[in-house]
């Protein structure tokens, strides 16, 4: 079966893991991704059932496609006029695919933010055209519940909880702090204050523990967390105790280094998911509803720091002690008690249906 795959392609670890896990689960199918970036193409080089093609080729490929699958969270943000106009054009495309009898699925999603009732209506119109929708948090499931004509939807833990299909854990001796460096392209006015605060926080951790700090850059293209990591390092005083770990398309080394941390400051959503998988206590830092929903679904009642509040008004010493002591951090780990396989189980039913 030929499957056109729609995903966020930015050398972003979380999104790339979802793609790699998906195609590993369905080796009998051929998947097609579309990007003009040679760096993105290199990320998926060597995976037998994935072909990365130029964006201009997608329209022609739809003529021979059997299914169209959109994967990943944050694919339904409808705030600006540009986003709404783009969604209208997408609706026209989905209508054409429907007429061609191509199966349509959206998996691993969450929703929002939205601006106005029309934005919500656009999301509803698109979701009604799907044969399957799977979501990763309860807020998203509740959002779908309001739509009478969207009925084949399922709530399941994030797709990355299926990580063991592509990565074998090492169970290393854990030591030091990992920080998910983050460069916001939506609220850049806060970035430098965040960098200064994280450098001060990491320096304080190093002075109190004499352990290393790893700065993890989850995205290395347009969003470019590598720049955030470099700024934090440049602002730091204890430079000899820092490492920068960038994700450049190959996940093995990145995950090994992440798994070896004993504490995590989780800013990127998938840094929280990975900390949960690897059973690492973490301090959640929220910049969108993704993190908040994840924590609410797990009944977490500990400290949550808003990214925009990570500035000189937030006491560095107190937060460093919270991280070191660990008692208030997220540590109610999922272990193997997740249902992330539901995304693929339900997708398989759709792909196999007549």
Closest to 219 measured CA to CA, from 187, 190, 245, 253: 245
Same fold flag, 2-156+339-352 and 177-325 = yes
243: left (phi over 0), alpha (psi -120 to 50) or beta: beta
Average pLDDT, the chain: 97
CATH number, span 177-325: 3.40.50
Residue 245 half-sphere exposure toward CB, CA atoms < 13 A: 24
Name the stretches of the chain with pLDDT < 50.
none
Q: In 3-state terms, what secondary structure has residue 166?
A: coil
Q: Which neighbouring-strand residues pair with 27?
A: none
Domain residue ranges of the chain, discontinuous segments joined by +: 2-156+339-352, 177-325
What are the Cα distances from residue 302, in Å, to 17, 51, 295?
A: 28, 43, 9
Asked if residues 303 and 265 have their Cβ atoms less than 8 Å apart, the reply is no
- C-alpha 259/C-alpha 175 separation (Å) is 10
246: left (phi over 0), alpha (psi -120 to 50) or beta: beta
| Residue 110, both tokens | 């969450």
Q: In 3-state terms, what secondary structure has residue 218?
A: coil
Question: For position 11, what pLDDT does the model report?
Answer: 98
Question: For position 8, what pLDDT does the model report?
Answer: 97
Question: For position 221, what pLDDT does the model report?
Answer: 97
Classified by CATH at the fold level, domain 2-156+339-352 comes out as: Rossmann fold (3.40.50)
Asked if residues 275 and 243 have their Cβ atoms less than 8 Å apart, the reply is no
Residue 48 class from Cβ within 10 Å (0-12 exposed, 13-18 middle, 19+ buried)? exposed
Q: Where are the beta strands (DSSP E) in 41-191?
A: 50-53, 67-71, 103-109, 132-135, 153-155, 177-181
Question: For position 74, what pLDDT does the model report?
Answer: 85
Question: For position 312, what pLDDT does the model report?
Answer: 83
| Other C-beta atoms lying within 10 Å of the C-beta of residue 54 | 10
Q: In 3-state terms, what secondary structure has residue 306?
A: strand
Q: In 3-state terms, what secondary structure has residue 222?
A: coil
What is the DSSP pairing of strand 282-286 with strand 263-266?
Answer: parallel
Give, as one character, the DSSP assignment of residue 246. E
What is the DSSP pairing of strand 305-306 with strand 282-286?
Answer: parallel
Question: For position 49, what pLDDT does the model report?
Answer: 98
What are the Cα distances from residue 343, in Å, to 33, 107, 304, 326?
A: 19, 6, 28, 33
Q: Does the pTM of the predicted model rise above 0.95?
A: yes
Question: For position 255, what pLDDT does the model report?
Answer: 99
- C-alpha 138/C-alpha 150 separation (Å) is 16
């Amino acid at each position: 079966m030929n499957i056109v795959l729609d995903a966020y392609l930015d050398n972003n670890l979380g999104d790339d893991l979802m793609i790699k896990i998906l195609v590993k689960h369905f080796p009998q199918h051929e998947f097609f991704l579309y990007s003009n970036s040679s760096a993105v193409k290199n990320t998926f080089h060597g995976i037998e059932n994935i072909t990365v093609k130029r964006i201009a080729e997608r329209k022609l490929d739809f003529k021979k496609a059997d299914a169209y699958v959109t994967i990943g969270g944050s694919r339904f943000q409808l705030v600006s006029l540009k986003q709404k106009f783009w969604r209208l054009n997408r609706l026209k495309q989905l209508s054409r695919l429907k007429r061609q009898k191509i199966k349509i699925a959206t998996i691993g999603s969450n929703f929002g933010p939205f601006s106005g009732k029309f934005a919500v209506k656009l999301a509803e119109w698109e979701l009604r055209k799907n044969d399957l929708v799977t979501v990763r948090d309860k807020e998203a499931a509740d959002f779908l519940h309001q739509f009478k004509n969207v009925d084949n939807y399922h709530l399941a833990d994030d797709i990355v909880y299926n990580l063991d299909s592509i990565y074998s854990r090492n169970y290393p001796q854990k030591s030091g702090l990992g920080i998910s460096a983050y460069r916001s392209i939506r609220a850049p006015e806060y970035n430098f204050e965040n960098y200064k605060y994280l450098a001060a926080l990491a320096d304080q951790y190093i002075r109190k523990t004499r352990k290393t700090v790893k700065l993890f850059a989850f995205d290395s293209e347009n969003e470019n967390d590598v720049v955030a990591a470099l700024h934090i390092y440049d602002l730091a005083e204890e430079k000899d105790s820092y490492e920068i770990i960038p994700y450049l398309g190959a996940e093995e080394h990145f995950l090994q280094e992440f798994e070896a941390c004993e504490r995590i400051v989780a800013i990127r959503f998938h840094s929280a998911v990975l900390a949960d998988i690897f059973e690492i206590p973490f301090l959640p830092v929220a910049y969108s509803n993704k993190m908040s929903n994840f924590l609410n679904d797990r009944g977490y009642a500990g400290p949550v720091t808003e990214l925009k509040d990570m500035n000189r008004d937030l006491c560095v010493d107190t937060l460093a002690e919270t991280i070191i002591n660990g008692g208030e951090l997220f540590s109610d780990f999922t272990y193997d008690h997740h249902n992330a396989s539901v995304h693929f189980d339900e997708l398989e039913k759709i792909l196999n249906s007549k």
